[in-house]
Structure 1
Amino acid sequence: METKTNKLHRFALNTCPKKFDNSGCLYTADRTLYSSAHAVVLHHRDVCTTKRQLPKTPRPSNQRWIWFSREYPSYSPNLSFMNNLINLTMSYRVDSDIFAPYGWIENHNGAINFTIPRKTKLAAWAISNWNPNETFREVDIYGRQRQKLQRDKQTEIFSAYKFYFAFENSIHVDYITEKFWYNAISLGCVPVVMGPPRENYERFIPRDAFIHRFIPRDAFIHVDDFSSPQELASYLQSLDKDEEKYKQYFNWRSQYYVPPQDNPWTVSYCRVCKALKDAPPYRTIASIEKWFK
């Protein structure tokens, strides 16, 4: 099996977690093995500039091409390049052939005793495209033109906040990124989310015996539940003064936890082997663009 990955996201091949059955599969970046590969993973951002970036060697009969993207549609140019080429999809979309979310929670069966990190600050927000004409009271903003975020101290910095503004760059079905999963949930903050509707966050979707996407209602705060930013701000301030009510947003942790992800790319690729074993009859997708958008 051949994988094409961005140089910034290299990972050790054939080292999948035990819960993934990868018996009988070989992951390789050796392109000389292309003609014998059962599947080729095409990471969209690496092959979307020109069709010349796609494999040039004649495609073996019944070799499956897997389209992989972690980006939202408007940040995925030239989707038409994939017309009538792709056999399986892999993305954050639940209706992908291979579901590869940014994060998930699992049932820990009482094995984990979660303690809320010590809170000394109210709210944080990390953003790259910040409008200096906007004003935010009591919210510490990290990113360009604002406070510098030291990556090696990100856990220490964000875990001290009661709330984290997990605002997505674009609103699309199932597009819930590391802003929610890592910056907020994993670091022990209550996420204030803006993205797909609340119902999308609350979905409980068992993908297999190990992976679940279940976000309890009391695990986050959705901006759509408020009529104005002022009403949202007032609610956050009320939670800041009511310790018991604030702690209710962590009740779900008595049953669930977010598995650590040293490299989420590894987990995404590790799902390919099982997907190939369970793959539907060979078929080609006429338009990735029509499906994805």
Structure 2
Amino acid sequence: MTMKSRHFKFTKTFNVFRVVKVAFAIALIYLLTPILFDNFFPSLNFQKTDGSNDIVDKYYEKRKNWLTSNLGTMLFKNKPIQANQDNRVFSVLIWKYWGWLKKRHLEGHTENDPLDECSVKNCMFTGDDTSINEVNAVLVHIQHGIFPNVTKRNPWQIWVFLSDESPFHTFSMAKRKPSFSNLANIFNWSMTYRSDADVPVPYGRTVPLPMPSTRSLSGLIPHWKDKKINVLVNALISNCAVRKRMDYIRELQRHIKVDVYGKCSDDNQESCPGSFKTDCPVINNYYFYLAFENSECRQYFTEKIFYNAYAKGAIPIVMGPPVSDCEKILPPQSFLHVDNFDSPEHLATEILRISESEEKIQMYHKWRQHFEIVNEHGYFGTKSMHLCRLCEALNYNDGKTKVYDEDSLKLYLDPKLLCSNIIHL
């Protein structure tokens, strides 16, 4: 049995009245003024780093009232947290799907073991399901809809549900979709891409540089010398069933040329197979990338934005999470959002205006002088931090007891609360 560790800190105990209040607020806030991830607890005053400046400070000011676990505070508020000092070794069962998760998050797409660079190394991971009553934590990948059947559970254990998918696809591989009521009062922690998860595992993050860069912008933008002016926009799409985004692209192509790669392309299907193991170098050549997600859900940002756009030196054009989420999660003034334009024609006009000069284009890259994007999804040779984050959570989060009841689960997994059904079929 091989194991590795990480620290974690518990968030506050769920209160029934608070859950009802939050659930009602989400429905209103989503439609009116989306601030879902601002919390109701006192704000945490995070410390400045040596490289702190007004731009960085203003960016984190938007996050100061977020509800975060201790680990989330470290990852999203740039605030150091003291690890627990009890010298424990945590045993973690990856229930049922250890082989798949090990391949996906440890061995799949990077040469080095991501756990080697983890801030803590006191966790042992196992796939031996018979040890379920002995381990400190149980991680359940809920996409298959299969759950442990335990009649008596140790009260000191932490059960964690893992979901990397949008709420529309949470149980996409399940033969029979479970109800939230059947999953109530089982799990203690959430492990999702959301910043307010107990164990946040985002596809990518915006982090400040130790000191502002003095390099020229052209030297900071990846593949700047590869950009071409004859075709400004591209997209890499292999799921053609999401009608809204395909219809939007076709309408956009009436006003500006857009090169589409992947299975949904008319001309370039073989140029980029859409595999998460294989990079698509041709998209290095474009100034803009259509980061159109398959679901329009809160904070659902994937490699489409963090890798296909930012890591390629492109300005992402976002369809998916609302503008308010983009403003808080993505680098400042770094993206365009389809919701800010009356029509694809209006968007095309803005793309052409920005492309009139290198100076205008580089205005959308000025953030690179103060921030960098960290890709943590495990695709295209990047590191997946999932198991490291779980170990960190066990070390850094506090020990306050909580359990996810039905309403609490819905705040993380219910598309009726968290998503628009316009973009998804």
Q: TM-score, normalised by structure 2?
A: 0.59
Shift of 1:191: 0.2
Shift of 1:102: 1.1
Q: Does 2:106 align with 1:11?
A: yes
Cα offsets for 1:120-175 (capped at 9, x unmatched): 23111122115577444211112324222145763421111110001121112111
1:123 alignment partner in structure 2: 233
Distance 1:75 1:10 in 2: 19
Distance 2:163 2:99 in 1: 12
Distance 2:375 2:340 in 1: 30
Cα offsets for 1:90-147 (capped at 9, x unmatched): 1112221111111012223357852442212311112211557744421111232422
Where does 1:8-47 land on structure 2 (aligned, <5 Å)?
9-11=104-106, 15-18=114-117, 20-22=119-121, 24-46=122-144
Say if 2:190 and 2:197, in contact at 8 Å, map to a contact too.
Answer: yes
2:207 alignment partner in structure 1: 106
Cα offsets for 1:23-44 (capped at 9, x unmatched): x322223334333210011111
Shift of 1:21: 2.2
Cα offsets for 1:39-95 (capped at 9, x unmatched): 01111113x1x4xx4255853332111011011112123252422111100111222
Q: SS of 1:282's equivalent? A: coil
2:402 alignment partner in structure 1: 283
Say if 1:16 and 1:266, in contact at 8 Å, map to a contact too.
Answer: no
Distance 1:6 1:198 in 2: 38
Distance 1:60 1:189 in 2: 50
Q: Does 2:414 align with 1:266?
A: no
Where does 1:1-293 land on structure 2 (aligned, <5 Å)?
1-3=92-94, 4-5=97-98, 7=100, 9-11=104-106, 15-18=114-117, 20-22=119-121, 24-46=122-144, 48=145, 50=146, 53-56=147-150, 58-77=152-171, 78=178, 80=180, 81-110=182-211, 114-117=220-223, 118-120=226-228, 121-127=231-237, 128-129=239-240, 134-137=250-253, 138-146=257-265, 147-148=268-269, 149-150=272-273, 151=275, 154-203=279-328, 213=329, 215-216=331-332, 218-261=333-376, 263=378, 266-277=384-395, 278-287=397-406, 289-292=409-412, 293=414
1:209 alignment partner in structure 2: none
The residue type equivalent to 2:162 in the other structure is F
| % identical aligned pairs | 27
Shift of 1:267: 0.6
CA RMSD across the alignment: 2.8
Q: SS of 1:258's equivalent? A: strand
Distance 1:175 1:184, change over 3 A: same
Deviates more, 1:128-137 or 1:62-71: 128-137
Structure ranking higher in strand proportion: 1
Q: SS of 2:367's equivalent? A: helix
Shift of 1:14: 7.8
Deviates more, 1:176-185 or 1:137-146: 137-146
Distance 1:14 1:122, change over 3 A: closer
Q: TM-score, normalised by structure 1?
A: 0.83
Show structure 2 runs of 5+ residues with no match: 1-91, 172-177, 415-425
* Higher RCO by CA contacts (8 Å cutoff, separation 6 or greater): 2
Distance 2:252 2:114 in 1: 44
Distance 1:193 1:66, change over 3 A: same
Shift of 1:214: 5.0
